[in-house]
Amino acid sequence: MNADGSNVQQLTSGNTRDTSPAFTATGDIVFTRGSFANRSIYGMHADGSSLRDLTPDSLDNSGPAPAPAGPLVAFARYDGVHQRIFTLNMNSGQMKQVTSPSGAYDDAQPNWSPSGNDIVFARSADTGNIFIVHKDGTGLRQLTNTPNRSDSQPAFSPDGTQIVFTACTDFNTPAQRCGLHTMNTLATNETDISTLKAPYIDTFTGDQIDPFWTTFADGSGFTMAQANGQLEFTLPPDTAPGGPNNWVNIQAFMACRFPGDFDIQVDYKLLSGPLPPNIDLLFNTVEFTGGAYLGGTHGMFVFNPGFGDPGVSTIFPGEANAFAPDTSLSGTMRMVRSVVGGTSTISAYRKVGTTWALLRTSDPYTADEVAANLSVFTNSFPFPNTTVKVAYDNFRVNSGAITCPTWWTDTSPDWQATS
């Protein structure tokens, strides 16, 4: 397909398993065909023609990685005892062995340096580590040595100075977490790049909601979708209550948590005009202690009280709420948690022009962790005889540490060269 996702063309078919495609330096495609212990490296032109088996033997060959220039392809070759790195010359068909693991170790997942002189790969037994070797098999060096972690899937940066790889802690246990790390080719300056760091922004582009958010709802008849570069909620006249509380509550709930101070904000838009009475557009911070929901929620909401002007209000449990009239159809809400003199509070702001206007600072409270929540809520029925459409956009973490669940796994990295 084209880089923008258009012009998708199917290149292979049949009852085969075709995986790990990669473009060669000449614009052909190499890939793995078959299942484990019976795989082969195939090549073809970019239009799917001239399909050919490049490793027509009884051994298991997989994971082709074309050199940045020339006819060589690196791949993993398994003979029933060991898996080794080989190179294949696509012009002559000649194969050369590059690595010779001993004992229970296997080598796989080769990736070339931009110069075409070196190959980085994963060597594994129960867990894995990253190695590098010259293409002729000399100069073998171990880059990671992490008994409590399994490292795999390395790839060179386009300038050849860094390597990105997958690192899995608590490997093969229920607590396993796989994230992306980078290091230089001297195996120093290792950095975990999967840990979310501020500033972090979700612009809600594309049609898939990021797993940063967990979505759920009470009620029926409505939709929540990422569309038009924003997170849109559409509630038609047949919107009906549901769930244990018999209300409508549509939520995008943060899967990650803020363990301490934070500064977060989000834009909102009333796409169908002013909200009917008793329909709330909420931006909440939900509190947890020991991983359990406390029942505490400090937040803000846009609403129409049904008398006077609509506006933006705080919703601080057990406290008087602050209200600011606002007839505009868009705006920005902000929540800031800070600890001053050992006392933790949350402050709610709304943007007025280019200035942040403080609505209220909460009384002291304690919570181990906090999660953001974007939602639309109503418990007033029958629903208005009109379609209500609203949207969130540009959720931003300005500051604060972020912790995410172990099931949030990042794997199979590669580098994109920029022109």
Each residue's pLDDT, cut to its tens digit, for the chain (419 residues) gives 988 788 999 999 999 999 999 999 999 999 999 998 899 999 999 999 999 999 999 999 999 999 999 999 999 999 889 999 999 999 999 999 999 988 889 999 999 999 999 999 999 988 899 999 999 999 999 999 998 899 999 999 999 999 999 999 988 888 888 999 999 999 999 999 988 889 999 999 988 999 999 999 999 999 999 999 999 999 999 999 999 999 999 999 999 999 999 999 999 999 999 999 999 999 999 998 877 887 789 999 999 998 889 999 999 988 999 999 999 999 999 999 998 888 889 999 999 999 999 999 999 877 889 999 999 999 999 999 999 999 999 999 999 999 988 788 889 999 988 76
Q: What domain count does the chain have?
A: 2
**CATH code for the domain of 113:** 2.120.10.30
Whether residues 30 and 124 share a domain: the answer is: yes
Domain span at residue 253 reads: 200-399
Whether residues 58 and 126 share a domain: the answer is: yes
Whether residues 176 and 315 share a domain: the answer is: no
Whether residues 146 and 63 share a domain: the answer is: yes
Whether residues 232 and 320 share a domain: the answer is: yes
Whether residues 81 and 209 share a domain: the answer is: no
> Does 414 map to a domain?
no
d(CA 269, CA 391): 5
Which residues are CB-contacts of 122 (< 8 A; sequence separation ≥ 6)? 107, 108, 109, 128, 129, 130, 131, 151, 152, 153, 154, 165
- CB atoms near residue 291 (< 10 Å): 8
Whether residues 102 and 214 share a domain: the answer is: no
Q: Residue 70: left if φ>0, alpha if ψ -120 to 50, beta else—which one?
A: left
The residue among 160, 192, 224 that closes a domain is 192
d(CA 381, CA 400): 39
Phi, psi of 211 (to 5 degrees): -65, 0
Phi, psi of 216 (to 5 degrees): -160, 170
> Does 79 map to a domain?
yes
- Cβ contact 184:162 at 8 Å: yes
> Does 34 map to a domain?
yes
Whether residues 253 and 311 share a domain: the answer is: yes
Report which residue type is found at 210. D
CA distances from 47 to 28, 29, 43, 208 (A): 9, 9, 11, 29
> Does 371 map to a domain?
yes
| Range 347-369 burial, b when 16+ CB lie within 10 A, else e | bbbbbeeeeeeebbbbeebebeb
**CATH code for the domain of 347:** 2.60.120.200
d(CA 275, CA 35): 56
Whether residues 212 and 251 share a domain: the answer is: yes
> Does 418 map to a domain?
no
> Does 415 map to a domain?
no
Whether residues 276 and 218 share a domain: the answer is: yes
d(CA 323, CA 344): 22
The residue among 164, 192, 220 that closes a domain is 192
> Does 206 map to a domain?
yes
> Does 404 map to a domain?
no
Whether residues 244 and 298 share a domain: the answer is: yes
Instruction: Return the residue matching tokens 């939709």.
Output: 223
- Cβ contact 124:152 at 8 Å: yes
Whether residues 70 and 109 share a domain: the answer is: yes
